[in-house]
């Protein structure tokens, strides 16, 4: 499975955590 697909699934399952990671990363 491509990494992009994993990221999409992760964002759908854990939107708050994903948003926090994006804010911390950028």
Domain boundaries, the chain: 1-26
Q: How many Cα atoms occupy the beta-carbon half-sphere of 1 within 13 Å?
A: 8
With 0.75 as the threshold, say if the pTM is over it: no
pLDDT (0 to 100) of residue 12: 82
| Average pLDDT over every residue of 14-19 | 80
User: Which whole number is the average pLDDT over 4-26?
Assistant: 80
Q: Which residue has the tokens 């804010």?
A: 23
Residue 11 has pLDDT above 80, yes or no: no
Angle at the Cα of 24 from the Cα atoms of 1 and 26, rounded to 5 degrees: 80
pLDDT computed for residue 1 by the predictor: 62
**How large is the average pLDDT for residues 21-26?**
78
> Residue 14: helix, strand or coil by DSSP?
coil
Q: Residue 26's pLDDT band (boundaries 50, 70, 90)?
A: low
């Amino acid at each position: 499975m491509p990494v992009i697909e994993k990221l999409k699934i992760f964002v759908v399952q854990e939107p708050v955590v994903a948003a926090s990671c994006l804010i911390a990363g950028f």
